[in-house]
Structure 1
């Protein structure tokens, strides 16, 4: 993780699981947990720069992340080191599970990017999702994942993402 945030009360460890294995884990400051939505803030947890072509995540970026216990997605508002909003990176996931200071989220491959400048909303990794075999292993989860991506796209196109606290 870039930047060392002090380990203090009010911290959670976010654990992103994909394909049954831990993809990444990182500390995040707990902002709110109302029993349904959990909101945290964390610096960019990746190594170095990740350039998608349409956005770059890099050291100094700050993510305000929203996870739900009753929705099949998470929404991450991304800001640069100067506090300028880059946009929202949304992951299709199973509903989040929190146990004490650990928040576990299972990534289901589908993602959505919504730029802050009102540019093109992008559905991502649909080929990866198709190749994951989820539709064969767990048709109900696959259907929920596709519905979640559609819901995220609708939120992005109607300005619903901007209504989330930052």
Structure 2
């Protein structure tokens, strides 16, 4: 089934792309899509490039999304975790609001990197919506704890 994923940041669509709906249990949605941005994005610790396949996990009740990233030939690169508001699902699409905090977990679990904390601090969310800012910080801690325990893959399978 075709599905449309829309990532919103500061009220504007950051990216929108088609994905295949893999499953939806009423809370946890899983979609699969190829790398949707043009060209290569090199973060230094990982490169996202044409041919990469993202299996993306979204929840209607959790404040994060987790994207398992594999090469075109199926080798696991790792997991990119976005702190977001819970997913809003309508018809054949979902929308998530990016709250700037991110986490990268390498395929072997040896690297667990917090990302974009400076962007989160500069976003003003603490002043504009203190409960959302608290939920975002708690979500980052939750997904980081899963990664550090080596439990992230098991959580996604469940």
Partner residue of 1:17 out of 8, 13, 16: 8
Which residue of the partner structure matches residue 62 of structure 1? 53
Deviating above 2 A after TM superposition, structure 1's stretches of 4 or more consecutive aligned residues are none
Matched residues in 1 for 2:61 and 2:22: separation? 19
Let me know the Cα RMSD of the aligned residues: 1.0
Query: Can you give the 5+ residue segments of structure 2 that lack an aligned partner in the other structure?
Result: none
Displacement of 1:80 after TM fit? 0.5
Q: Which residue of 2 aligns with 1:142?
A: 133
Structure 2 Cα separation of the partners of residues 141 and 150 of structure 1: 14
Contact 2:83 2:102 in 1 (8 A): yes
Per-residue Cα deviation, 1:52-106 (whole angstroms, up to 9, x for no partner): 0000000000000000000000000000011000000000000001100110000
2:95 pairs with one of 100, 104, 109: 104
Query: What TM-score, normalized by structure 1, do the two folds share?
Result: 0.93
* Distance (whole Å) between structure 2 residues aligned to residue 108 and residue 144 of structure 1: 10
Matched, 1:29 2:30: no
Secondary structure (helix, strand or coil) at the match of 1:27 reads: strand
TM-score w.r.t. length of structure 2: 0.97
